[in-house]
């Protein structure tokens, strides 16, 4: 994030900033007014008027200083680079203040007339310059203190809000991961598969062994899916096949699968669990809802540097309205969002429900290899 965008995300000047400015200068005025009336015996009205002029000028110039600090992102400079900048700017800003103050009676607060400049062996010709120098140094010190205070307060505040943002981000990430894991584990599928395996143990021990292996592979793939974002289509298809073998056990002849997979598409890297999610969705809202079963068709092809995957399923005979309300495409929203985050506008996933008898999920992914 650069300094300008930093400034955009935050309000131009917060309420607390102005409270500090007014409060700080106000306190300063009260203290100086006390000194001016007690020690110098200046009339109160004149003192207050002069202090108002002085602090208004100070406030205007420190506000400019603040602008500079923010624009140039001084908060991120090392002390070594920061110190000369602060001192230099404070000196520069103190010149007009000293010039004005020179004509005010309160100048005596910093350069008392009683000060015996003559006795300090300063040539009388230089007394005027010495008085000016003292004024300038005084105001510079004041501006330096202001800049240090400003940088300290803002950096403390930024540290706190950054820590807060970081913890919020971490939490959001954990919640998302958990939701992904839960949705991917699909307890309905898991327990039904376990039930199928149990049934197979007595009648078909070899089939039961195979099913256990497939279930273990599916679970392992799901549980480790978070580690890598992209896998080859060939790898993803291995797990889709394991999953389909288990669903075939459950659905028997009701699930009819057709594949049309181009060999050159196999090496394209795809988001892990994406095709799996789409196939599961097709089974859940297609075949599982059809008493006589239905067809599932997976087509993968590479055209013009883009991987095209179509997953088609027979749709149950329901009206469009009921269909939509049961969320045929809801499960795919997360998958589509993930695809968008990974590849931007070059990839997409959409569900075509325009045909009554067949639903088609279309995936487009650029071949990044």
Partner 1 sequence: MKAMIVDDEPLARRELGRLLAEFAWIDIVAEAANVGEAAPLIEKLLPELLFLDIQMPGGTGFDLLERLEHLPRVVFTTAYDKHAVRAFEVNALDYLLKPIEPERLAAAVARAQAAATSTPSASATSATILERLFVRDGDRCWFVPLREVKLFTAEGNYVRLSWDKTHPLLGRPLASLEARLDPRQFFRANRQQVINLEYIESVDPGVNGLLHVQLRGGPEVQISRRQARLFRRLSSI
Q: For binding to partner 1 (CB under 8 A), which residues are involved?
A: 187-188, 190-192, 194-196, 198-200, 202-203, 249-252, 254, 288-291, 316
Structure tokens at 39: 């020690």
Instruction: Give the residue with the Cβ less far from partner 1, 85 or 250.
Output: 250
CB of 271 to partner 1, least distance (A): 26
Query: Minimum Å distance from CB 249 to partner 1?
Result: 6
Nearer to partner 1, 154 or 196 (CB): 196
In the complex, minimum distance from the CB of residue 183 to partner 1, in angstroms, rounded to a whole number: 13
B/e letters for 198-236, b = 16+ CB within 10 Å, e = fewer, are: eebeeeeeeebebbeebbebbeebbeebeeeebbebebb
- Least separation in angstroms between CB 184 and partner 1: 14
Q: Residue 337 Cβ, how far from partner 1 at the closest point, in Å? A: 25
Least distance from partner 1 to the Cβ atom of residue 361, Å: 20
Please write down the long-range contacts of 46-54, taking CB distance under 8 Å and 24 or more positions apart. 46/105, 47/105, 47/106, 50/104, 50/105, 50/106, 51/106, 53/100, 53/104, 54/97, 54/100, 54/101, 54/104, 54/106
Question: C-alpha dihedral over 38, 41, 42, 45, to 10 degrees?
Answer: 60
- Please answer whether residues 356 and 365 qualify as being in contact, where contact means their C-beta atoms are separated by less than 8 angstroms: no
DSSP β-bridge partners for residue 261: 300
Residue with smaller CB distance to partner 1, 132 or 207: 207
d(CA 367, CA 114): 85
The length of the chain, given as a count of residues? 369
Nearer to partner 1, 78 or 187 (CB): 187
Nearer to partner 1, 249 or 347 (CB): 249
Cβ proximity to partner 1: between 58 and 316 the closer is 316
Place of tokens 């329901």: 318
- Closest approach of Cβ 193 to partner 1, in Å? 9
Nearer to partner 1, 122 or 290 (CB): 290
- Give the integer Cα–Cα distance in Å for 192 and 247: 9
- Decide whether 62 or 186 has the Cβ nearer to partner 1: 186
* Nearest distance, CB of residue 11 and partner 1, angstroms: 46
With 0-12 / 13-18 / 19 or more C-beta atoms within 10 angstroms meaning exposed / middle / buried, residue 54 is buried
Q: Which two structure tokens, joined as six digits, stand for 317?
A: 């005979």
Q: Which two three-digit tokens encode residue 310?
A: 């179509």
Query: Rounded to whole angstroms, how far apart are CA atoms 93 and 65?
Result: 8
Nearer to partner 1, 250 or 308 (CB): 250
Q: What is the DSSP letter of 317?
A: S
Shortest CB 299 distance to partner 1, Å: 25
């Amino acid at each position: 994030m650069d300094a300008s965008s930093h400034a955009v995300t935050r309000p131009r000047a917060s309420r607390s900033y102005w409270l500090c400015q007014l409060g700080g200068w106000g306190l300063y005025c009260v203290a100086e007014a006390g000194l001016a009336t007690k020690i110098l015996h200046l009339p109160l009205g004149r003192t207050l008027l002069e202090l108002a002029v002085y602090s208004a000028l100070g406030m205007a110039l420190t506000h400019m200083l603040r602008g500079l600090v923010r624009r140039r992102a001084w908060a991120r400079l090392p002390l070594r680079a920061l110190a000369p900048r602060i001192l230099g700017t404070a000196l520069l800003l103190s010149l007009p203040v000293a010039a004005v103050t020179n004509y005010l009676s309160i100048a005596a607060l910093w350069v008392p007339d009683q000060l015996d400049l003559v006795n300090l062996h300063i040539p009388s010709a230089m007394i005027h310059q010495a008085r000016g120098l003292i004024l300038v140094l005084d105001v510079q010190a004041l501006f330096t203190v202001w800049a240090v205070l400003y940088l300290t307060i803002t950096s403390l505040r930024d540290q706190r809000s950054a820590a807060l943002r970081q913890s919020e981000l971490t939490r959001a990430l954990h919640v998302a991961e958990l939701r992904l894991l839960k949705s991917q584990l699909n307890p309905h599928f898991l327990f039904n598969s376990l039930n199928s395996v149990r049934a197979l143990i007595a009648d078909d021990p070899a089939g039961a062994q195979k099913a256990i292996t497939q279930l273990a592979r599916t679970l392992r793939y799901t549980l480790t899916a978070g580690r890598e974002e992209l896998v080859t289509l060939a790898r993803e298809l291995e797990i889709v096949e394991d999953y389909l073998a288990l669903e075939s056990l459950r659905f028997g002849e009701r699930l009819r699968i057709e594949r049309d997979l181009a060999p050159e598409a196999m090496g394209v890297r795809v988001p892990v669990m994406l095709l799996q999610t789409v196939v599961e969705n097709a089974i859940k809202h297609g075949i599982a809802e059809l008493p006589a079963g239905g067809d599932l068709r997976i087509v993968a092809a590479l055209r013009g540097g883009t991987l095209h995957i179509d997953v088609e399923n027979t749709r149950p005979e329901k009206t469009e309205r009921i269909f939509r309300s049961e969320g045929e495409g809801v499960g795919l929203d997360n998958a589509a969002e993930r695809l968008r985050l990974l590849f931007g506008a070059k990839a997409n996933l959409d569900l075509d429900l325009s045909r009554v008898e067949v639903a088609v999920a279309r995936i487009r992914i650029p071949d990044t290899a």
